[in-house]
Amino acid sequence: PVSLKERLAELIPAEIENVKATRAAHGKKSFGPVIVDQLYGGMRSLPALIWDGSVLDAEEGIRFRGKTIPDIQKALPKAPGGQEPLPEGLFWLLVTGEIPTQEQVIQLSKDWAARAAIPEFVEELLDRCPPTLHPMSQFSLAVTALNHDSAFAKAYQEGVSKKDYWGPVFEDSMDLIAKLPNIAGRIYRNVYGGGKLPAIDASKDYSWNLANLLGFGENPAFVELLRLYITIHSDHEGGNVSAHTGKLVASALSDPFLSYGAALNGLAGPLHGLANQEVLLWLRKMQAKIGEEPTDEAVKEYIWSTLKSGQVVPGYGHAVLRKTDPRYTAQREFALKHLPDDKMFKLVGQIYNLVPNILLEAGKAKNPWPNVDAHSGVLLTHYGLDQMQYYTVLFGVSRAFGVAAQLIWDRALGAPLERPKSYSTAAIQKIFKDK
Ligand code: NMX
Ligand code: MLT
């Protein structure tokens, strides 16, 4: 079959023309006013980036190349006997906008398995990290260190022409994704025990291999969960902290390893990816205080006590979404199918019935509904992966798919250095003095 790189090489010339035509037709049109509050308010809703893999609708949630989560669950190739989409197929879709064949997906699994080994010095780097160093810090260290063998950094030093940037960036992006399971698996075993890492099995898919490295290869339901997990966490348009960081850093022509290492540091923040850890910590604390099967009244009181102590309810709210995150719904459906009687799943459902009204009553959050992180930890915990400090690493494995796809296109389309304009408060006061 045609490989992903061959297909990309076919698509790039037409897309260069497409962007040229779009800019010729619309380049000078206004996208609406920018108000001063947006400069102070985290640039919320400011149209500022091009991101092709996915677009987020405030009401409907994410679409990957125009397809909703149920669409891709239906359309993307599955593993033999599996029901969830293979993330390999999602990556193909993010990069090309096309649904791959089963054969093309198998080819990607094999390609990634062949690239999966990490350099010995990165293994040693991880082995020397104290187990008390947060798994996300270890993850970011290791990804940054992969820059040692970057094809793009080398090609740049050798004077590669701008029009050929995308080739080595593609190779680095494929290497990045391929090496993440060995990094993630090594961190997991170093921090939580579990012995020597097994070898990658080139006859199996990416998610099976990741599950196996974590010690869950023999549990088909967990493998299916990882396939769903990696698929739905992969991309959430370009403005979220991790995706935007990756794109920003890569715009300086830092290679994909340096760029994604930086993205991971953003993902490690509690208002972004670390929220999946925070949700589980919050649930555990709640259970310790009011029991495993608490009454609605006790849960409500607990939620209010969180808010009154000046903390956020983790897993709820969103900077863009204004309805329940469809990634939450996809995970809830998985739970209803595979673990309907799990006590913590029931608590998550109970919280879903109570938090939105409380956040509305509290009157601050613009979106009272749950996001992806409100549900992921309870699924992992159900299968025995209950080390919540590790959860964001899995998010980080997945988010590489979306960021890598965009970095390839950014270099293929000649995206320039990012450099928006900033102002001081004194400058704002001067500019608007008499207006
Ligand atoms: N619990 C309590 N207060 C909240 C929550 C929440 N879940 N969500 C928003 N607020 C507050 C927010 O802190 C802010 O308060 P203040 O005016 O005192 O600064 C006010 O409501 C207005 O915030 P919004 O405009 O609704 O939210 P914003 O766009 O600034 O932030 C989040 C979005 C996601 C950071 C915010 O909703 C939040 O902190 N949620 C909890 C953490 C979380 O689940 N993050 C994961 C997001 C998904 N991901 O993986 O990245
Ligand atoms: C994400 O998946 O990146 C989060 O939902 C945060 C966001 O979109 O801002």
Domain CATH code at residue 332: 1.10.230.10
Do 65 and 197 belong together in one domain?
Answer: yes
Mean pLDDT of the chain: 98
Tokens of 246: 């990756």
With CA atoms as reference, report the closest residue to 402 among 139, 53, 112.
53
Indicate whether 33 belongs to any domain. Answer: no
Q: Which residues contact 172 (CB under 8 A, 6 or more apart)?
A: 150, 151, 152, 255, 256, 257
Buried-state track 209-243, b at ≥16 Cβ within 10 A, e below 16: bbbbbbbbbeeeebbbbbbbbbbbbbbbbbbbbbb
Report whether residue 240 contacts ligand 2, using a CB cutoff of 6 Å. yes
Q: Which amino acid is at 93?
A: L
Indicate whether 30 belongs to any domain. Answer: no
Question: Residue 429 pLDDT more than 90?
Answer: yes
Q: Which domain holds residue 243?
A: 1-25+41-270+393-435
Do 180 and 167 belong together in one domain?
Answer: yes
Based on the residue annotation, tell me whether 272 is a catalytic residue of this protein: yes
Tokens of 313: 């309810």
Do 161 and 19 belong together in one domain?
Answer: yes
The catalytically annotated residue of 134, 233, 236, 318 is: 318
The pLDDT score that the predictor gives to residue 75 is 98
Do 189 and 53 belong together in one domain?
Answer: yes
Tokens of 220: 């088909």
Whose tokens are 């209950």? That residue is: 386
Indicate whether 297 belongs to any domain. Answer: yes
Indicate whether 102 belongs to any domain. Answer: yes
Do 97 and 200 belong together in one domain?
Answer: yes
Do 336 and 406 belong together in one domain?
Answer: no
Based on the residue annotation, tell me whether 318 is a catalytic residue of this protein: yes
CA dihedral 44→47→50→51, nearest 10 degrees, is 40
The total number of structural domains in the chain stands at 2
Identify which ligand lies nearest to the alpha carbon of 244.
2
Report whether residue 397 contacts ligand 2, using a CB cutoff of 6 Å. no
Do 202 and 262 belong together in one domain?
Answer: yes
Domain CATH code at residue 411: 1.10.580.10
Q: What is the mean pLDDT of residues 321-336?
A: 98
Identify which ligand lies nearest to the alpha carbon of 42.
1
Do 82 and 143 belong together in one domain?
Answer: yes
ipTM over 0.95: yes
The pLDDT score that the predictor gives to residue 264 is 99
Closest protein CA for atom 35 of ligand 1: 271
Closest protein CA for atom 8 of ligand 2: 240
What atom in ligand 2 is closest to the CA of residue 56?
Answer: 8
Indicate whether 255 belongs to any domain. Answer: yes
| CA of residue 230 to ligand 2 center, whole Å | 14
Indicate whether 133 belongs to any domain. Answer: yes
For 315-327, write each residue's pLDDT tens digit: 999 999 999 999 9
Closest protein CA for atom 29 of ligand 1: 319
Do 321 and 355 belong together in one domain?
Answer: yes
Based on the residue annotation, tell me whether 373 is a catalytic residue of this protein: yes
Closest protein CA for atom 3 of ligand 2: 240
Q: What is the mean pLDDT of residues 150-168?
A: 98
Do 176 and 299 belong together in one domain?
Answer: no
Tell which of 337, 361, 382 closes a domain. Answer: 382
Do 292 and 367 belong together in one domain?
Answer: yes
With CA atoms as reference, report the closest residue to 263 among 279, 277, 251.
251
Instruction: State CA 261 to chain mean position distance.
Output: 13
| CA of residue 273 to ligand 2 center, whole Å | 8
For 375-423, write each residue's pLDDT tens digit: 999 999 999 999 999 999 999 999 999 999 999 999 999 999 999 999 9
Closest protein CA for atom 1 of ligand 1: 312
Do 283 and 265 belong together in one domain?
Answer: no
For 123-141, write each residue's pLDDT tens digit: 999 999 999 999 999 999 9
